[in-house]
Amino acid sequence: MSTVLHMLQPGPQTTVQDLGRHGFQAYGVPVCGALDGTALRLANALVGNEAGLAGLEVRLAGPTFEVAGGPARLALAGAQADIEVIVADETSRYGAWRAIDVPEGARVRIGALTGSGGAMLAFAGGLAVPAVLGSRATDLKGRFGGHEGRPLAPGDRLPLGTRAVQGPCLEIPSPPRAVGEIVLRAVPGPQADAFTDEAMAAFFTTSYRVSREADRMGMRLEGPPLAFRDGADIVSDGIATGSIQVPGSGLPIVLLADHQTIGGYAKIATVISADLPLAGSLMPGAQIRFRAVTVAEGEDACRAREAEIARIIASLAPVREGARIDAAALYGANLISGVVTALESG
């Protein structure tokens, strides 16, 4: 019998995701997969998995679940959160960016995320849900993949793949984090000529705010409307992840993992692949800017990001457990009389 996760409270939108369903956009099937692919790769590395095994994508706050049928090793990456492991009414607390061994019968509760709108929760062996078109990613619009093609609900049971856990729990000594102003690098086009010169200049100098109209398909931005030369409509053509469409309202929409495969609005720019994990982690209210780069610069950034991921994985080290207070020993010691004796002798 394999280990199973029994969902008690799944969180706002927890879905099964891997690195995506590639090769089917010509048939209208989006790639889907983790919004923050870097977080999934690092979480998988922490528990000893291959980079692309399926995990749980957590949005805003994490799930509460019971581990049944065997133990589990898990790791959360992409955001900070309090992780509680409850065994026989005793609670142990952990943080993100490290592996945690959880015994059979334990209840795990992951709190609100900080530092990011999303995170990835990986398990040793991955999630053993059926693959559809070569991927276990959840397609929410198509309602397939993942667990029944939908976000998790109370009572769901997810089997883990069988994998012998080896060695100590690992941690990332210096987790990656975004600092300062959020800047997304983007290649202008492919319909840059649909916009006025003033609109192009404004797009790369204006600060935008992520609106509440944001989900896995894309996020609409708030800011000054962009002007067109003739109009927003084009003959529908292909869309890449990171494409920035501008409809008739003049307000940009950054298209993310679940984006449609074709569209009929002009695209002012495309966020480079190296910055897509950052774009996918943004929350409503976040302030962002765009910086124009060339295709060559985008390729250099991709290589630099791959090198950084490899460096982080190479830095994994056994968890350094901090000193813990032994409450039972303290309660059993006669501390009060010791203090009185010390005072009397003084």
User: Structural domain boundaries of the chain?
Assistant: 4-176, 182-305
Nearest Cα to Cα of residue 157 among 12, 13, 16: 16
Q: Is the peptide bond before 154 cis (omega within 30 degrees of 0)?
A: no
- 182-305 falls under which CATH superfamily? Cyclophilin-like (2.40.100.10)
Provide the pLDDT for residue 165.
82
Nearest Cα to Cα of residue 120 among 52, 218, 70, 213: 52
pLDDT in 10s for each residue of the chain, 346 residues: 689 999 999 999 999 999 999 999 999 999 999 999 999 999 999 999 999 999 999 999 999 999 999 999 999 999 999 999 999 989 999 999 999 999 999 999 999 999 899 999 999 999 999 999 999 999 999 999 999 999 999 999 999 998 778 899 999 998 887 766 799 999 999 999 999 999 999 999 999 999 999 999 999 999 999 999 999 999 999 999 999 999 999 999 999 999 999 999 999 999 999 999 999 999 899 999 999 999 999 999 999 999 999 999 999 999 987 534 444 444 555 545 444 444 454 4
Neighbours of 306 (CB within 10 A): 12
Is-above-0.75 flag for pTM? Answer: yes
Provide the pLDDT for residue 179.
67
Calculate the alpha carbon distances from 290 to 36, 204, 271, 294, 306 in Å. Answer: 19, 5, 9, 13, 22
Calculate the alpha carbon distances from 195 to 5, 118, 170, 204, 206 in Å. Answer: 50, 33, 50, 13, 15
Calculate the alpha carbon distances from 62 to 55, 71, 154 in Å. Answer: 13, 20, 13
Neighbours of 323 (CB within 10 A): 4
Q: Which amino acid makes up residue 22?
A: H
Contact predicate 226/205, CB 8 Å:
no
Contact predicate 211/138, CB 8 Å:
no
Structure tokens at 7: 């969902």
Provide the pLDDT for residue 339.
46
